[in-house]
Amino acid sequence: MARRHRKSDIEDLIDLASILPWWLGLSIAVLSYFLLHPFAEVSVPQATSIRDIAGPLTAQVIRTGAMFGQYLLPFVFLLGAGASALKVYRNKKLLAEAVGTASSADLMDLSWEDFEHLVGEAFRERGFSVSETAPGPDGGVDLALRKDGELHLVQCKRWRARKVGVEVVRELYGVMSARGAVGGYVVSSGTFSQEAHNFAKGRNIELWDGAKLKAVIRQGRNSLRPAPSPGPKDISIPPRQGQGAMETTPSCPQCGAHMVLRTAKRGSNAGQQFWGCSAFPRCRGTQPLSPT
């Protein structure tokens, strides 16, 4: 069996630098040179006896480390900044290509890495900060999202042949509970089983198939304003799943903003769903849920 390649410390540092925003990596590269350069220029005092050798020896070690570090660290972080900038460019290009195509079938032609990057970019367009999770026992979570201090988790499934089943949704729900996430998303290039849709209802889990992902990308950041925190008398839950859900979302009759599906918590209508304005509490427009 072939021996697995183990990355060097330099490669690990470059990978770490590439995760940072490119401008931050560039700033660290410049700053590290100006911080280390003065130490590289310090003259080392001569030892006058064996007992006095510790001070000059320590100074020489620091000077030698600074001499190499003043060039090595900027080089590493410049490479990381370049990789980060290239990643941003590729993700923007993926997003533009996805918007330009008419159907969702082309999503299945993407590699799983590109599909994950495309999903991350779609959430950035919605105002989330996005970080990729490291491989490990995380229940298959690929992306961690944050907005207004709240955590959301995402699983990406680029599957060609079969539907995403309820097991995947259950797995994500368990990880959400363990990590204290307020919401979750399962995003697939294909479709979901009816059991998966049924389990996701009422659990703050949204299921995005290929058509939904395309619709979200096209709608863009301006028309996808974040929903407000639920008021004291109602709580927002994910829109009903299924193809065409984006088109059936009504507009507020009072201010024209898009509406979100809520569930009444109190009163004679407790437990019943209705459409509430996404601009709540600034706008309190409501609309009854049309029977399906």
Whole-model pTM? Answer: 0.53
Name the CA dihedral angle for 140, 105, 217, 243, rounded to a multiple of 10 degrees. Answer: -80
C-alpha–C-alpha distance, residues 160 and 112, integer Å? 11
Residue 139: its pLDDT value, please? 54
Query: Which of 39-48, 111-120, 145-154 has the highest average model confidence (pLDDT)?
Result: 145-154
Neighbouring residues of 265: CB distance < 8 A, sequence distance ≥ 6: 232, 233, 234, 235
DSSP 3-state assignment of 11?
Answer: helix
Closest CA to 133 of 107, 151, 111: 151
Please choose, from the candidates 85, 101, 95, 87, the residue with its C-alpha nearest in 3D space to the C-alpha of residue 29: 85
Q: Given this model, what pLDDT does residue 16 score?
A: 80
State the amino acid at position 133 in one-letter form.
Answer: T
Lowest mean pLDDT among 59-68, 245-254, 268-277: 245-254
Query: Over the stretch 167-214, which tens digit does the pLDDT of each residue have?
Result: 999 999 999 999 999 999 999 988 899 999 999 998 999 999 888 888
Evaluate if residue 161 carries a pLDDT over 90. no
For residue range 262-284, what is the model confidence (pLDDT) as tens digits?
887 777 777 788 888 877 767 77
Please, are residues 206 and 238 in contact by the beta-carbon 8 Å criterion? yes
236 CB-near residues (< 8 Å, 6+ apart): 227, 230, 260, 261, 262, 276
